[in-house]
Amino acid sequence: MKRSFGIVRSIAEELKRLRKSRDMNLDEVGEKVGVSGVFISNIERGKRVPSDNLIEKLADVYGIEELDLYEGFGKVPESIINEIIHNPKLLQLLYKITNNPDIPNEKKEQFYSDINELYDKINKPN
What are the residue ranges spanned by the domains of the chain?
5-77, 87-122
Kindly give the confidence (pLDDT) of every residue in the chain, 126 residues in length, as a single tens digit, with 9 standing for 90 and above: 434 445 567 999 999 999 999 999 999 999 999 999 999 999 999 999 999 999 999 999 999 999 999 999 999 999 999 999 999 999 999 999 999 999 999 999 999 999 999 999 999 886
Of 80, 38, 45, 75, nearest to 59 by C-alpha is 75
**So what's the pLDDT on residue 125?**
80
| pTM: predicted TM-score of the whole model, two decimal places | 0.78
Q: Which CATH class is domain 5-77?
A: mainly alpha
Distance CA 86, CA 75 (A): 19
Task: Give the residue among 42, 35, 81, 75 at the shortest CA–CA distance from 58.
Answer: 35
Total residue count of the chain as it appears in this document = 126
